[in-house]
Amino acid sequence: MPYSRITRTVAGTDAIAYARGNGAGHNNNEVRNEYMAGVNMLPDEVVSFEQQMQPFWDRADSRHIIQVDRCIVSFHPSELDPDKPEDCAKGLAIGCEIAKRNAPDNQSAVFLQKDGKGGKIHLHILTNDVNMSNYKGIDPAAYAHFHFQKIVDEVCQQYFDDLVAIHDALDREEAPLPEGFAGTVMARVRETPQDKPKKKVIAFPHWKRWAAMAACCAFAALGLWAFQARGGDARESGQVMLARSAPSPEQYADAPAYAEADEGMEAEALMMDDAEEGAPNQKQASPAGNPLEAEDGAAPAAEHRMEDAVDSPAVAPAMSADKALTGTVTAGGVTARAWVERELGLPWEAGRQYPLTAEQFSALLDELNLAGEDFRLEAGDACLLTAE
């Protein structure tokens, strides 16, 4: 039986335009579609399929964003021969019948094509996800693949009755072998000279193992060297890290709070280092006392200094306003299309680049993120929108 699959999309117009094509087909074929038909719709030549579906998309609930269910059915050449016009017509009839049974209260556009790599006959059935009677979403069973495949099998069973009957008859029929057939075959095999298989000789059969071992040794040596290079006095490395992380006062000259907080943090770090150095001396000076008491006594002071550091008014500086976000946004969804027509007053053309101001660029990104629509953002010096 034929192969089938179902996907859903929010861009119904784009899905229909892709199935319709622009005249030429894939893989250097002269035409994209052999036949087109509409279920519960006028022909595409009279009124385009997307224009006939648009009123139902507009009447649907705002939370209903799915517009079209895309169904693909592909036939093996033994089922429908792509070189026979009558088989192409039979495939279109099968597609229309599948669309009627799967979604009787919905519009469907049926496209029959054979421009794939294998040249097989396949159907694109694009069904409107909004019901015609109540403007609600389609029955979930219509886009459940197990339910759809069952309908495909039932419809094809009716059209392929003769072919299936012949296939079943051939499966049940067993032709008896002539007498002595097996002995004759084996004798011919023994008489026929056969070349001995050549033994493969692979140079360095374990080179991959040795290469992996050499790579592991190299990584281990590199890690050991890096560890030794970073070794040393912990206090010295801590001071270097503090010096690297602390911003200079000139960097935030316009914000005194940062400089004061940084100086306070440096002073607290030095105090903690002095406390660590003085701790052994205190233990030696008072051997009768409990060394844990000295440590416990120093703990509240350190805790107090940590709380002061947390409560300090140091805040990370905000990005300056002169560094506006620039680059190229690539999008092709409904939100991007509507934004271009509303904000720029220009028609949407796939492959076109729209120059934007910094404010328009920022507003477009906010609207795409709010709508949850897919897009690609590439860095650049200009603000551009590329239509897919």
φ, ψ of residue 35 in degrees (nearest 5): -145, 150
pLDDT digits (tens, 9 = 90+) for 26-74: 777 888 888 999 999 999 999 999 999 999 999 999 999 999 999 999 9
- pTM value is 0.44
Of 134, 140, 129, residue with least CA distance to 107: 129
The mean-pLDDT minimum among 41-45, 186-190, 302-306 falls in: 302-306
Mean pLDDT of 203-230: 80
Rounded distance, CA 160 to CA 93, Å? 13
Q: Supply the pLDDT for residue 106.
A: 95
pLDDT digits (tens, 9 = 90+) for 125-184: 999 999 999 999 999 999 999 999 999 999 998 887 766 666 666 665 566 677 887 888
pLDDT surpasses 70 at 295: no
Rounded distance, CA 66 to CA 128, Å? 9
CB-CB contact of 119 with 45 (8 Å) = no
In order of 84, 86, 91, 114, the CA distances from 81 in angstroms are 6, 9, 10, 10
Rounded distance, CA 201 to CA 217, Å? 29
Provide the CA 298 distance to its chain's centre, in angstroms. Answer: 55
Of 97, 119, 117, 116, residue with least CA distance to 108: 97
Q: What mean pLDDT value characterizes the chain?
A: 77
For residue 367, the surrounding DSSP H or E stretch is: helix 358-371
Burial class of residue 39 (count of CB atoms within 10 Å of its CB; 0-12, 13-18, 19+):
buried
Strand 327-331 relative to strand 383-387: parallel, antiparallel, unpaired? parallel
CB-CB contact of 94 with 102 (8 Å) = no
- The top-scoring range by mean pLDDT among 103-107, 186-190, 222-226 is 103-107
- pLDDT band of residue 11 (cuts 50, 70, 90) is very high
State the Cα torsion 367-372-375-376 to the nearest 10°.
100
CATH number of 3-165: 3.30.930.30
- Return the structure tokens found at 11: 């861009």
CB-CB contact of 20 with 111 (8 Å) = yes
Rounded distance, CA 126 to CA 130, Å? 12
What is the domain partition of the chain in residue ranges? 3-165, 246-311, 327-387
Rounded distance, CA 325 to CA 339, Å? 19
In this predicted model, which residue has the larger pLDDT, 151 or 200? Answer: 151
Helix-helix angle 161-172:145-159, to 10 degrees:
80
